[in-house]
A and B are shown apart, each in its own frame.
Chain A
């Protein structure tokens, strides 16, 4: 189990417990806690609907070219932008803080 913090679009912080042995990613964790993350493509890095900003200094693998390509379809992309579905849960993510990126209507 690790703990991650998700800050929603209203600025509210959610401290979530998440298992590291189920092959989950941050998009799925948010969805399982019913936070407003769409994850339309189901986690294939093919839709950009799980765009989030990483606000903690956890060591994360660099985004792949596929992830960068999909971030092109997101808005307000910043240097700390990631697709939640590409952040696989493991011990390195303990204490991770992410903020959900704004979405259009």
Chain B
């Protein structure tokens, strides 16, 4: 089991900058994020959008800010567990927590900082009746093992890159593949759109546009999906239905950790951004307090104050003397 000083749940901008502030106090951090790359919303939702309210940057692209933060924290050698969701937190000793991810990775630390933004990014699920009943029984939101679709009838829904990419990939494997999309143009990469059009023309993909899936049926697993098209309603045989409508943040397991929650956010004390559980802090968009503003800038401030309190929590008998970076410098950035 990995051991660190602070486990940071969420590798968005606030989680990343907290590594820097913790590093100044010689505290080690381990970040956990459900996404496969750091940056959180900045990487997942708006990488190419300029941000105008980061002090010192008249304008900075979200993706650039993430790159810069990664560079800024590099000297402190943070550890990352990416592509895994923080699932469970338990107290294993008097002042030691153990965090377990959905893939069984275990990390322990005396302090946990939740910088989870709006929660963990999860596939957006269509509001279809009985959808849950078919989850894992023909309804897949992520393609993990393409081989399972060999020689089966597949229906994919969506119009973005993942819908196009998997349609192209599975066209070679599946017995039949239908791509259902609500309009005739696609927002994915031009190459992928052209490839899907080619596959449609050669009959390898059944492209059904101006259409939406409205129902799923089958006794125990998916047997058919109902599609509403401009020409009426049609039922298609399907062994698998793969809705690919992007990712959306959900509070998820964070809501089950015994923390005081209000309006999908964790209540904190603004003195040090501590939660109702000593040793667990919440910073950035995930927390709430009177006057809260969901700004990256405010999250940076929260993380900075939080690590001071974390230090005292870990080393109650040690004195902490505050030093400016202009005095001490940062080995590795000089």
Contacts and interface: CB of A to CB of B under 8 A. Distances in A.
A72 B182 contact: yes
A73 B158 CA distance: 7
A73 B249 contact: no
Interface in B39-61: 41, 45-46, 49
A40 interface: yes
A77 B182 contact: yes
Given A69-B187, A104-B127, A105-B125, A76 B212 contact: yes
Contact of B159 (A47, A72, A76): A72
Contact of A40 (B118, B185, B214, B245): B118
Given A104-B126, A104-B127, A73 B246 contact: yes
A75 interface: yes
A102 to B, nearest CB: 4
A40 B181 contact: no
A46 B131 contact: no
B80 to A, nearest CB: 24
A49 B212 contact: no
Contacts of B182: 71-72, 77
Given A40-B248, A104-B131, A75 B46 contact: no
A60 interface: no
B248 A76 contact: no
A48 B124 CA distance: 10
Interface in A60-77: 68-69, 71-77
Contact of B160 (A42, A73, A104): A73
A73 B212 CA distance: 12
B45 A41 contact: yes
Nearest to A9: B127
B133 interface: no
B175 interface: no
Contacts, number: 58
A44 interface: yes
Interface residues of B, number: 27
Interface string A21-56: 000000000000000000011101011110000000
Contacts of A1: none
Contacts of A42: 294
B45 A46 contact: yes
Interface string B113-132: 00000100000111100011
B183 interface: yes
Secondary structure call for the A interface: loop
B117 to A, nearest CB: 10
A68 B186 CA distance: 10
B140 to A, nearest CB: 15
B127 A72 contact: no
Nearest to A34: B263
Nearest to B157: A75
Contacts of B214: 76
A86 to B, nearest CB: 15
Interface in B128-156: 131-132
A45 B125 CA distance: 19
Contacts of B125: 104-105
Contacts of A72: 158-160, 181-183, 186-187, 245
A103 interface: yes
A77 to B, nearest CB: 5
Nearest to A68: B183
A44 B126 CA distance: 22
Interface of A: 40-42, 44, 46-49, 68-69, 71-77, 102-105
26 contacts: A40-B249, A41-B41, A44-B46, A44-B49, A46-B45, A47-B45, A47-B248, A48-B124, A48-B246, A49-B248, A68-B185, A68-B187, A71-B182, A72-B159, A72-B160, A72-B181, A72-B182, A72-B187, A72-B245, A73-B246, A75-B126, A75-B127, A77-B182, A104-B124, A104-B125, A105-B125
Given A102-B127, A104-B124, 9 more contacts: A40-B118, A41-B46, A42-B294, A69-B187, A72-B160, A73-B160, A76-B214, A104-B131, A105-B127
